[in-house]
Chain A
Amino acid sequence: MSQMNLLQAVNMALDTAMQQDERVLCFGEDVGAFGGVFRATSHLQEKYGKDRCFNTPLTEQGILGLANGLAAQGQVPVAEIQFADYIFPAFDQLVNETAKFRYRSGDQFDVGQLTVRAPYGGGIHGGLYHSQSPEAYFTHTPGLKVVVPRNPHQAKGLLLASIREPDPVLFFEPKKLYRASTGEVPEEDYEIPLGQAEVLREGTDITLVAWGAQMQVIEKAAEMAAEEGISCEVIDLRTLLPWDRDTLAASVKKTGRLLINHEAPKTSGFGAELAASLQEVCFLYLEAPIVRVTGWDTPFPLALQNEYLPNEHRTLDAIRASLDY
């Protein structure tokens, strides 16, 4: 075990994966000798050589096209998109190609070995294009898996599992936590299985669910609620597609109330999918409408970032409203 931040945990996961499998390649803009603008790929080129950790020309559609080709050939590409805000030029490669490769070929060809890493989320004064949370664009795409870690331990275990997963994975890293979130991370190789949510705090009055950096928000809200005598069950979804309905449904059936928190805008955000699905399987157990505490339906602003983000105060208000319903 050693103490490290989320970025170091990502770096350690990449190092472990590259050490263990010669086919693992890390590439993207500035990931080579420089080690990435956030330093997620620090020292990997030094250690594994230029043909395994390298810079690409500045082209997101090219990075994903290249990654699809490498994966189809039998390599294990871990492509980096510098900011999730810039994944959109690669949207066609991801949605029309990556996601449909296996299906359309009748399983003759696949790019299942592909992992795409992208820093995402706000709270760092990133304005419109260094703050977005685009996960819902991708959870609407059959064939992709979508994963978001909340701390260094999760980041390493989930990233290693994603790299070895036989399906393509989009791995969104909450960049606000890159250096802010620290914790103990085992030195050894370990994986955290995809598709499983984690109950962080047991409670009886309401279920709170989030992912990534918003986990800190709902944990804080749960503590504040506890002071008022409200018992919150706190769940980290971790994998958004395919998500762990069983764990969430069991919790909602117990508490009778559900609050979903995410940073992305509300309309058609992933919270809508959770709310609709859990309503289907928990209808008779619900004692209040499912509530979504999310970013507003606006582009992500600079000056009013604080007013935009769905923080613990908004969350606590929504918890109270749900219990008073």
Chain B
Amino acid sequence: MSDLRSFDVELIQHPEFVDPQTSVLPTFALLQQDGNLYPGAKAPDISRELALKIHDTFLFIRALDERLLASQRQGRVSFYMTETGEEAADICSTAALAADDLIMAQYREQGALAFRGFPLEQFMHQIFSNEKDLGKGRQMPIHYGSRDLHYMTISSPLGTQLPQATGYALGYKRSGQKNCVICYFGEGAASEGDFHAALNMAGVFRVPVIFFCRNNGYAISTPVHEQLAGDGVAGRGPGYGLKTLRVDGNDALAVYEATRLARKMAVEEHQPVLIEAMTYRLGAHSSSDDPSGYRSRKEEERWRQKDPVARFRQWLIHQGWWSEEEDETRREEHRQAVITAMKKAEKVPKPPLEELFTDVYKEMPWHLQEQLEEARDLVERHPEAYPATAGRKQA
């Protein structure tokens, strides 16, 4: 650790400016697209059961994303974001954690939540913001959260979860709890001031946190070369005193192994870690975006050839753990399950009126009680204008 109070430093007599081009970090990769390991690569110790669970989560997320994006196009869902192309990044990193490590996500990490066992019905209740949504229908679709599954509720402001992850991890360290926080974010969010605050504080306080960047090449329409000029996001890690690794984000095995090692350092040594997973956002940014306006089909096609799901499936088949036929059957099962759950969730009523006013504070203060009464009177006088809440029995 450099400290200006120490004068025991090397002096040079010729000004040698550090050239950013000389320090490009390599990428950790184990699995080739044909499902074979790179020569000299060693597969992580991963059981058949875990490998199949990872793959099943891949298939579930593909089915969920495809169906819901289509439903958004039909106007049944107000908004949606897929994680197509990035499934290995969030799902395999979460697979390497303890089930009670805290996840702080950005928004493109529904796979992590699915891996933890979030029920399909709960995904749907959140998407349809109905009265069974754990978030009480208050946030936009894909802003999931689950206390039981240690998945912190997502919020839209980018990067805000990063310093919170440092704080949460400091809480773990203080209480002696042998857990870490994994904090997901995109390379665009890494330009926010909160990224700097978070990594700097994590380095200074030495807390058990893994900052996991999904560098998928784009922040909406902004390509990564308009986002940063240095060696990606990983290039910044050492400057903050973080152990840092760049990994092939489409390589399920490499992501798993990188995160497993990161967790060990974070939990056992309170060493914060930065992982940058290099991947590609195959889909649009969101249902409100059309990427054809800012990137080429050819580029997308190139990345489609690197599909993380297909790559891992090939590995499973080579292991003798899975087959194309089983794959097709399972995909169809997930598709049907999603459609059935969607139809059910659509019919669940919206939350009652009073949920608009609860949880602002622990107890409802006088001014909110007054406003709730005012809203109740209003709905009663104009039931036709408030079909979701008029005539509803309120708890």
Q: Residue A69 contacts which of B157, B169, B196, B362 (CB distance < 8 angstroms)?
A: B169
Contacting residues, chain A, for B162 (C-beta < 8 A): 65
Q: Which A residue sits closest to B160, measured CB to CB?
A: A97
* Contact between chains at A108 and B147 (CB < 8 Å): yes
- Which residues of A from 49 to 64 have beta carbons under 8 Å from B? 51, 56-57, 59, 61-62, 64
Is A167 close to B, CB under 8 A? yes
Interface centre among A64, A67, A72 (most CB of B within 10 A): A72
Cross-interface CB contact of B360 among A56, A74, A92, A103, cutoff 8 Å:
A103
Residues of A participating in the B interface, judged by any CB pair closer than 8 Å: 25, 51, 56-57, 59, 61-62, 64-75, 77, 89, 92-93, 96-97, 100-110, 112, 142-143, 145, 166-167, 195, 242, 245
Asked if residues A66 and B160 are in contact (CB atoms below 8 Å), the reply is: no
Q: Which stretch (B171-179, B304-312, B379-387) binds chain A?
A: B171-179
Q: Are A62 and B160 in contact (CB under 8 A)?
A: no
- Chain A residues with Cβ under 8 A from B145's Cβ? 104-106, 108-109
Query: Are A166 and B362 in touch, CB under 8 angstroms?
Result: yes
* CA A166 to CA B364, docked complex, whole Å: 12
Count residues on chain B whose CB falls below 8 Å from chain A CBs.
48
Contacts of A73 in B (CB 8 A): 102, 167-168, 170-172, 175
A108's nearest neighbour on chain B, judged by CB, is: B147
- 7 interchain pairs, CB-CB under 8 A: A62-B200, A65-B162, A65-B197, A66-B201, A69-B170, A112-B362, A245-B366
- Asked whether A75 and B139 contact (CB < 8 A) given A65-B197, A96-B155, the answer is no
Bound Cα distance A250, B193 (Å): 47
Q: How far is the CA of A95 from the CA of B163 in the complex (A)?
A: 15
- Choose one: A74, A108, A142; the contact of B175 (CB below 8 Å): A74
| A47 vs B194: C-alpha distance when bound (angstroms) | 32
Q: A51-B174, A106-B133 are in contact. Are A242 and B365 (CB under 8 A)?
A: yes
Given A92-B157, A96-B160, A59 and B167 touching (CB < 8 A)? no
In the complex, chain A residues whose CB is within 8 Å of the CB of B363: 166
Are A69 and B167 within 8 A (Cβ)? yes
Contact with A along B134-173 (1 / 0, CB 8 A): 1110110001011100001101010010111111111110
Bound Cα distance from A99 to B362, whole angstroms: 12
Residues of A within 8 A of B362 (CB): 102, 110, 112, 166-167
User: Is there an interface contact between B171 and A74, defined as CB atoms closer than 8 Å?
Assistant: yes
With both beta carbons as reference points, the residue of chain A lying nearest to B177 in the complex is identified as A73
A102→B153 CA distance, assembly (Å) = 10
User: Which of B204-256 touch A at CB < 8 Å?
Assistant: 204
Q: How far is the CB of A96 from chain B (nearest CB, A)?
A: 5
Report if B198 contacts A (CB, 8 A): yes
Given contacts A97-B155, A100-B155, A104-B143, whether A68 and B197 have CB atoms under 8 Å apart is no
Nearest CB in chain B: distance from A90 CB, A: 10
* A69 near B163: Cβ-Cβ < 8 Å: yes
**Contact of B138 with A66 in the complex, beta carbons under 8 Å:** no
* Nearest A residue to B370, CB-CB: A245
Contact B139 A104 (CB under 8 A): yes
Which residues of chain B are near A242, meaning CB under 8 Å? 361, 365-367
Known: A74-B175, A103-B360. A69 touches B165 (CB 8 A): yes
Please give the distance in Å from A264's CB to the nearest CB on chain B: 21
Question: Quick one: given A51-B174, A66-B201, A108-B145, are A93 and B135 in contact (CB under 8 Å)?
Answer: no
Give every chain B residue within 8 A of A92 (Cβ-Cβ): 157, 160, 194
B359 CB-CB contact with A under 8 Å: yes
Inter-chain CA distance A110–B193, complex, in Å, is 23
**A61-B163, A69-B181, A102-B362 given; 16 more Cβ-contact pairs under 8 Å:** A57-B201, A65-B160, A65-B197, A66-B163, A70-B168, A72-B164, A75-B174, A92-B194, A97-B155, A105-B152, A105-B153, A109-B145, A109-B152, A112-B362, A166-B362, A242-B365
Q: Choose among A57, A61, A70 the residue that contacts B194 (Cβ–Cβ < 8 A).
A: A61
Report the Cα distance A100→B139, complex, angstroms.
Answer: 11
How far apart sit A57 and B205, CA to CA, in the bound complex (Å)? 10
Closest B residue to A102 using CB positions: B359
- A69 near B166 (CB under 8 angstroms)? yes
Closest to A74 in B: B171
Q: Kindly provide the distance from the CB of B61 to the nearest chain A CB, expressed in whole angstroms.
A: 22
Q: Is the CB of B153 within 8 A of A69?
A: no
Q: A114 to B258, alpha carbons, bound, how many Å?
A: 35
- Say yes or no: A97 contacts B135, CB within 8 Å: no
CB-CB under 8 A from B174, the residues of chain A are: 25, 51, 75
Which of B160, B167, B181, B193 counts the most chain A CB atoms within 10 A? B167
**Cα-based distance from A318 to B162 in the complex (angstroms):** 50
